[in-house]
Structure 1
Amino acid sequence: MNTGLIFDIKKFAINDGPGIRLTVFFKGCNLQCKWCHNPESMSPKVQKMYNTKKCIGALSCIEICPNEALKMTSEGIVTNYNECNLCGKCAEVCPTKAFEMLGSAIPISELMKKIDNEAIFFDKSGGGVTFSGGEPLMHSNYLLTALKECGKRMYHRVVDTTAFSKLETVLEIAKHTELFLIDLKVMNSEKHKEYTGVGNEKILSNIVELAKTKSEIIFRIPLIKGVNTSKENIMQTALFINSLNGNRKVVNLLPYHNISENKHLKLGNSNSFTKFEVPSKIEIEEIILMFKKQGITATIGG
């Protein structure tokens, strides 16, 4: 595969692995987490965002639309998606960038140029490239090619994944990756399916096999009150981590925030937004202590 659908490339990332990194965000995910802070990453197709706060009513977007799919209303520009073909012309002419197209097919050669331009920061900080999403393993052929190209240049490689994929894919990617960042969302499979759309049996079994390869893994836990902050879930998570091959004693805790609400509005699917509770400082401290008693160091962020 020569091109991959990418919705963002973030320079100077410091929370996606060691050092200063360039993070590549793939579009499309085979999980549909109700708390996802990147809802624009879920669909494997090109999408369009519209920010009413940026719109100044220039109307150039309406004039250029080849399908007459745009209409000015009291609430701003409304898109008729039955007519819109996502050509992106409205975004091209918008003077304030109120419209934004999400998802671009970038050839490997072009991606590597962007990565190479950041190499000086990798060298000085011990950083590298992180492939995130969405779910990068959904783009396994393109991802594998990019990882190999990075390997030729001796760039440190991180894959941020749910591990929900074919085992063969996970193990092949592991041969060309220095570090995996893997989410552990909910240990109970039925609850996992309720909130993400899929059970976690494949995820957990893939992690078990991946751990046998001696791959470096850092687990991340998005903390959502009422979903996975219970003592039972934290203990089950710690027991699972301690059962794995290798020394895996670090967990990153990612407390929930509702930043995605505004993104859902921009995508025009505000009905898809579910608001969850943020765990309190005391609850987070108790979770850190529970992990510590199991010999695991839990830190906020990362």
Structure 2
Amino acid sequence: MVAATNFDKKKYGYVFNVQRYSVHDGPGIRTIVFLKGCPLRCQWCANPESQHFHPELAYNANKCISIKECGWCIKSCETEAIKHDQNGKITVDRERCTNCGKCTDICPSKALNMYGELKRVDEVIELVEQDSSFYMRSGGGITLSGGEPLVQAEFALEVLKEAKRRRLNTAIETCGYADWEKAVTVFEYVDNILFDIKSINSTRHKQFTGVGNETILENFKKLCNCFPNTPITVRTPVIPGFNDTEQDILAIIDFIKCYPNVKYEILAYHRLGEPKYTYIGREYLLSGVKPIPEERISTLKKLVQENFPQ
């Protein structure tokens, strides 16, 4: 599957996962559609396969049955990106790999797979509508996530338009780092917005995510002013050494407390996505960082309750 470049971005988009029966990303029971592409490079990112816009080859060495039993992937690779080590396990040369996907089609153990597939708007909606009965009973619907769904703003807009046409509740998870003129057209078709604010300190924000926070904070202000009746939940992933102090949390509360219809929650750091870095040949920069103890998270949640009644 070579990454397509010439396609109608309103009709097609890159999707890397569809998660059904979610209850944490918007009201009710929801289907989350994860879109490829993100402008941030958060060091703790649990979905590194979401960052690049194009499809990516993933290799799980634990599933590989070795060239002694197989080796079909090596024969299928026209660029010689797939080779084997002295133990008979395959290796992937990321510089040579074109992400064509031929090796994944013939891998019997599913050690090789692709993250990212080009899908039409109607394909996405058909997947989402499989659970429409659950949405009706619970007030759920579709949530667009990523990556950053606003990277594919044209596609996201068409998906949301079609969802609204079919009377589905809509939500979006966003980091807020996007061109406002594109973002505002998407927000018009969203019933609930989950907005990440990771830090008020722009220097530290850039250190840990690769970008400053000025655009994010400015877009949040515009969002609240343009859509005062749309429920917004601000989320902060609490990362050790980055934004885990009382001062960090209070600074965010101080920034958002003047806006109506806004809720706030903090999310505990976890390392569940760490294996995926190995699968796609990247390094996890926080490999030595342990999750924050539950008692500490409880203390910060109590701080939120005391300073941001909701």
Choose 79-88 or 187-196, whichever is displaced more: 79-88
Residues 62-87 of structure 1, C-alpha deviations (whole Å, 9 max, x = no match): 12222332112127211223332211
Q: Percent same amino acid among aligned pairs?
A: 33
1:65 maps onto 2:77 in alignment = yes
TM-score by length of 2: 0.91
Of residues 265, 270, 292 in structure 1, which corresponds to 2:305? 292
Distance 1:200 1:210 in 2: 15
Compared with structure 1, are the counterparts of its residues 82 and 231 closer, same or farther at alpha carbon in structure 2 (3 Å cutoff)? closer
Deviation at 1:134, TM superposition (A): 0.2
Structure 2 equivalent of residue 243 of structure 1: 258
SS of the equivalent of 2:264 reads strand
Structure 2 equivalent of residue 28 of structure 1: 37
Deviation at 1:289, TM superposition (A): 2.1
Structure 1 segment 77-226 matched on structure 2, within 5 A: 77-212=90-225, 213-214=227-228, 215-226=230-241
Please provide the CA RMSD for this pair.
1.6
SS of the equivalent of 2:62 reads coil
Count matched residues. Answer: 295
Residues 266-299 of structure 1, C-alpha deviations (whole Å, 9 max, x = no match): 11113655543322222212212221221335xx
SS of the equivalent of 1:270 reads coil
Choose 235-244 or 112-121, whichever is displaced more: 112-121
Contact 1:162 1:182 in 2 (8 A): yes
Of residues 3, 28, 35 in structure 1, which corresponds to 2:12? 3
Structure 2 equivalent of residue 44 of structure 1: 53
Structure 1 equivalent of residue 290 of structure 2: 277
Structure 1 equivalent of residue 248 of structure 2: 233
Deviation at 1:96, TM superposition (A): 1.2
TM-score by length of 1: 0.93
Compared with structure 1, are the counterparts of its residues 60 and 158 closer, same or farther at alpha carbon in structure 2 (3 Å cutoff)? same
Residues 114-170 of structure 1, C-alpha deviations (whole Å, 9 max, x = no match): 122222221222210000000000101111011000000110000000011122222
SS of the equivalent of 2:134 reads helix
Where structure 1 has 5 or more consecutive residues not aligned to the other structure, the ranges are: 298-302
Distance 2:248 2:118 in 1: 39
Contact 1:48 1:102 in 2 (8 A): yes
Contact 2:160 2:190 in 1 (8 A): yes
SS of the equivalent of 1:238 reads helix
1:14 maps onto 2:23 in alignment = yes
Distance 2:145 2:203 in 1: 26
Distance 2:296 2:88 in 1: 40
SS of the equivalent of 2:295 reads helix
Where structure 2 has 5 or more consecutive residues not aligned to the other structure, the ranges are: 1-8
Compared with structure 1, are the counterparts of its residues 192 and 113 closer, same or farther at alpha carbon in structure 2 (3 Å cutoff)? same
